Structure 1
């Protein structure tokens, strides 16, 4: 079995190429390589997400969780030039290309890095993600539980998940964990889930 795209430092031999991200408001030519997620084309789920979600907040701090070579983060940065966008991944080869793609696109409001390089005090006004389902359910749940609580009050995360890879069960699980989750859209075997920030626990002073 080949090396997974979620390897930290892929050992797969490099074979650089480019793919085009074409959206109604944006056309980017992105550098990709072997050893990362969807190197031969922009993933169809990513495209469904980017064509379905409402505009990100115009200002604030935004996150692409599992950014790969950057199509989601760069779209967020383009659509919200007044915001600061972070792209997080474990794959250092993909992160290097994401930085190069940002430079090529002239987008200087986006930062890419490993999770441990992101200030743990940062909170996010929006999270967009094509999450790495194939890391396994337990690891995926841990990943989401680490980042979704970092939504600001009123913040929303949009996740795209294939139906046959468990979008409905993930929606139920998120609701059970106190993250209000609704299906935003269903298209081409993908579902986009809108996950609201967990409601703040009420205290005695809230009801006084």
Structure 2
């Protein structure tokens, strides 16, 4: 991997000089604090798209069969999901070790215990027999279309029947092709929300 890519949030071991910040984020009656750092996605604030997905996901119905956050970074999607659904277990995966360490620290500092946080390149380290009622992702666009498509396609193998895939993606960064891919695979793809160019796409496994 080049030195430049080693700085990126999709690197396994980012080499960017540490630069920690604390970010507050509030949705309804849930207020979480996140420690962020250089070398992880959206280090200065909760990414706008993640915020749109957090606000949209809390009203989505899905089978009560655990939750998966693919590409968790320092953990905003997964940790909010864990607070919204405290009786569910949330698996949070990423390849970025710095992000995973932050996610674990953020879970602890926010007193969230119903999470499993571990390294996985997309779904490679997830037990084939483990199924989820809800899969969330703000996919790593800069990692390339192949990785994004792998996340969208691979979700099908890990959802229970009736399980829901929620994706946030900008129109200019591939939303039309992502929506077509999801519609072809799942037989359905609904636009839940549009907000400043960010789309929340929802597919249900039938």
- Normalising by structure 1, we get a TM-score of 0.89
- 1:195 corresponds to which of 195, 199, 203: 203
1:148-187 to 2 correspondence within 5 Å? Answer: 148-187=156-195
Is contact 1:58–1:80 with CA below 8 Å preserved after alignment? no
Q: Is 1:109 aligned with 2:117?
A: no
Cα RMSD for the two superposed structures: 1.7
1:7-26 to 2 correspondence within 5 Å? Answer: 7-26=11-30
Distance 1:118 1:173, change over 3 A: closer
Structure 2 gap ranges (5+):
none
SS of 2:153's partner is helix
SS of 2:65's partner is strand
Q: Deviations along 1:74-128, whole A, 9 cap, x unmatched? A: 1110011111001011101000010010011111001111124432321110011
Q: CA deviation at 1:149?
A: 2.3
Q: C-alpha distance in 1, partners of 2:114/2:88? A: 7
1:45 corresponds to which residue? Answer: 49
Q: C-alpha distance in 1, partners of 2:202/2:137? A: 11
Is contact 1:58–1:82 with CA below 8 Å preserved after alignment? no
Structure 1 gap ranges (5+):
200-208
Structure with bigger gyration radius: 1
Q: CA deviation at 1:179?
A: 4.7
SS of 1:30's partner is strand
Is contact 1:60–1:82 with CA below 8 Å preserved after alignment? no
Is contact 1:66–1:87 with CA below 8 Å preserved after alignment? yes
Is contact 1:68–1:89 with CA below 8 Å preserved after alignment? yes
Q: C-alpha distance in 2, partners of 1:74/1:120? A: 23
1:96 corresponds to which residue? Answer: 101
- Normalising by structure 2, we get a TM-score of 0.90
Q: CA deviation at 1:182?
A: 1.3
Is contact 2:139–2:151 with CA below 8 Å preserved after alignment? no
1:74 corresponds to which residue? Answer: 79
Q: CA deviation at 1:176?
A: 2.2
Q: C-alpha distance in 1, partners of 2:157/2:126? A: 15
- 2:136 corresponds to which of 101, 125, 128: 128
Q: C-alpha distance in 1, partners of 2:119/2:35? A: 19
Q: CA deviation at 1:25?
A: 2.4
Is contact 1:55–1:79 with CA below 8 Å preserved after alignment? no
